[in-house]
Chain A
């Protein structure tokens, strides 16, 4: 059974305190791994797509990396506006996305 697990469930950081979020997956065939950001009361907003092990993508303070078993979302010197829930999803090749339960990030000033 395809599974996506995110850790930690919640993370509290001080402004400027860098950290990483983890997304581990066991799927029959990886056709892409996606990171989304979700603010309260809103729909998920796309951040990155990674397709193969070793691939990295960066956007402002965020950097996503991918191995054969997991992906990391690195947050460098976060700001309060980075507070959100970060979702990881895997395309298993059957026209379906399998989502993790997300990591709730709170960045305090």
Chain B
């Protein structure tokens, strides 16, 4: 099992550009989530999904879109990048929301 994979590992964008952060898991987990991690702030939930076709907002959803067309994939889209979105992004999955989450290796995003 590869577990949770994320691509790319690093990305630099200019303000206003759009991009998609990819996340995939091969454990057949229903629950998937996206977090951002900033110094002194801890991990904050952006969006989550409890299954294919079902998504909901987390604590800091503004500026991000998600969709879940398959159990395996949960991409995160930045429609118009802003410097405030400079962060490290982690995708995670678990069988249910009450179970421990398996985290991906992260994507370090810099918006200039």
A residues with CB within 8 A of B: 4, 31-32, 34, 36, 41-46, 49, 87, 89, 91, 95-97, 99-102
Size class of the B contact interface (CB-based, 8 Å): 20 to 34
A41 partner residues in chain B, CB cutoff 8 A? 106
CB < 8 Å neighbour of B103 from A4, A32, A45: A45
Additional pairs, 18, CB under 8 Å, beyond known A41-B106, A42-B106, A97-B45: A42-B105, A43-B4, A43-B90, A43-B105, A43-B106, A44-B101, A44-B103, A45-B103, A49-B100, A87-B42, A87-B43, A91-B98, A95-B31, A95-B50, A96-B58, A96-B97, A99-B35, A101-B40
Whole-angstrom distance between the alpha carbons of A58 and B23 in the complex? 32
Which residues 33-74 of B have a CB within 8 angstroms of A? 33, 35, 40-45, 48, 50, 56, 58-59
Total A-B residue contacts, Cβ distance less than 8 Å: 53
Chain A proximity of B51: nearest CB distance (Å): 11
B98 partner residues in chain A, CB cutoff 8 A? 31-32, 91
Asked if A100 and B42 make an inter-chain contact with CB atoms under 8 angstroms apart, the answer reads: yes
Q: Per-residue 0/1 for B13-47: is the Cβ within 8 Å of any A Cβ (1 yes, 0 no)?
A: 00000000000000000010101000011111100
Whole-angstrom distance between the alpha carbons of A87 and B43 in the complex? 9
Of all chain B residues, which has the CB nearest A96? B45
Q: Per-residue 0/1 for B78-98: is the Cβ within 8 Å of any A Cβ (1 yes, 0 no)?
A: 000000000000101000011
Of all chain B residues, which has the CB nearest A100? B42
Whole-angstrom distance between the alpha carbons of A45 and B92 in the complex? 11
Known A-B contacts A89-B43, A95-B48; the reply to A46 vs B104 at CB < 8 A is no
CB < 8 Å neighbour of B102 from A46, A49, A96, A97: A46
CB < 8 Å neighbour of A34 from B31, B50, B100: B100
